Structure 1
């Protein structure tokens, strides 16, 4: 009698959730097929059957991280002031990094040799980019920003990623008041820069 395949959506979801839990508790070094299988109440062969290999498991965690981040950004309440909305997006992005430092490392720093995202994989962040573009376009349409909305959104996103990574690594400072101030200064300076025409040379 042939063995029943263990590949199920339920095991996939349980495996991803288990991987996220392992990362949160034990960091990058703790993520193995065995540790995920143990937490998911599954066998190592079953985990490999669902994800293919460790790289496949990390890839699914990578995608899940961007889904979680996009959901958090989508939940941001829009303000009548487009700059306030963009400030709230930056704060939500920062909160995600602080709450999920190891997951954010996988998403943006790529610490695993087992997983090197392809161009196709990088589409995981499309929803996040689209959210920034949407609200930047509102600011441009309102005359608050001057420039190409897609350009401004990509630069804004790059800045908040940089600030978040610097804070996560401890290089932005340690005192909360100083960290909060540096985020405010950075975001405000960027917004002021985009309020004036920028020469495209």
Structure 2
């Protein structure tokens, strides 16, 4: 007699219950169980057996869904990046682009402080930069930086600006979390944010000041929107602008 199909929890299930939506619901239940353990008891509590128990499954289900514990932790981190992405506020035409930059940095810090265990997991492995949600969040940041460059506000190269902004926000949160509660001074976060602003932006738009570097950055930021140049022409002009911008 043919054996009956069983679900991730080991119980008999119909063919329709093994379809993708049911699997995804089970997968989400496991991720939420892992986040609960991570938040309430710490990373060491996130064992395959403990997560399975919390999700009402048998341990082998974790391996079928995620491959191994590392796969589960990667899925939890991806969930975190997706939740963080949902908090990002996008203004395509901010009245003050530097205040918009500050606001974006604050959102990142606030998410980390509100979700300390999850935030630490998200940034504990360099390979998690391959996360689709992480990349989407970086695109939002890069668009914000591009607006700064187009307005002549950007002091450094766009890639370096993205690295500085990301590193200071991440470092600020992780440093804050590493401190005993009695030593956590909100002035630390403000100082690090303002150091970031000073490092990546000009006090005045550089296109109004002498020197070609700021103008080159502004023109380079607008280059992708130009439709009257061929791809080859855009590439060549981009190389020239890169050289000019590097001299500033």
Work out whether the TM-score is over 0.5.
Answer: yes
What does residue 15 of structure 2 align with? none
Runs of 4+ in 1 over 6 A off after TM superposition: none
What does residue 33 of structure 2 align with? 18
Aligned residue for 2:172, secondary structure, equals helix
1:141 corresponds to 2:136? no
Length, aligned pairs only: 192
1:169 corresponds to 2:184? no
CA 1:122/1:188 → structure 2, altered by over 3 Å: closer, same or farther? Answer: closer
CA 1:181/1:22 → structure 2, altered by over 3 Å: closer, same or farther? Answer: same
What does residue 62 of structure 1 align with? 77
- Partners of 1:56 and 1:182 in 2: CA distance: 37
- Partners of 2:200 and 2:106 in 1: CA distance: 14
Contact kept? 1:137, 1:149, Cα under 8 Å: yes
Contact kept? 1:133, 1:153, Cα under 8 Å: yes
Gap runs ≥5 in structure 2: 9-17, 207-212, 215-244
Aligned residue for 1:80, secondary structure, equals coil
What does residue 3 of structure 1 align with? 5
1:123 corresponds to 2:130? yes
Larger radius of gyration: 2
Correspondences of 1:78-93 after superposition (within 5 Å): 79-93=94-108
List per-residue Cα deviations over 1:11-48 (Å, max 9, x = no partner): 10111111111100011111111221122122212222
Aligned residue for 1:144, secondary structure, equals coil
- Partners of 2:60 and 2:44 in 1: CA distance: 20
What does residue 87 of structure 2 align with? 72
- Partners of 2:203 and 2:52 in 1: CA distance: 49
What does residue 228 of structure 2 align with? none
Q: CA deviation at 1:2?
A: 4.3
Normalised by the length of structure 2, the TM-score is 0.68
Gap runs ≥5 in structure 1: 111-116
Contact kept? 1:97, 1:168, Cα under 8 Å: no
Q: CA deviation at 1:88?
A: 0.6
Q: Which residue, 155, 159, 184 being the options, matches 2:168?
A: 159
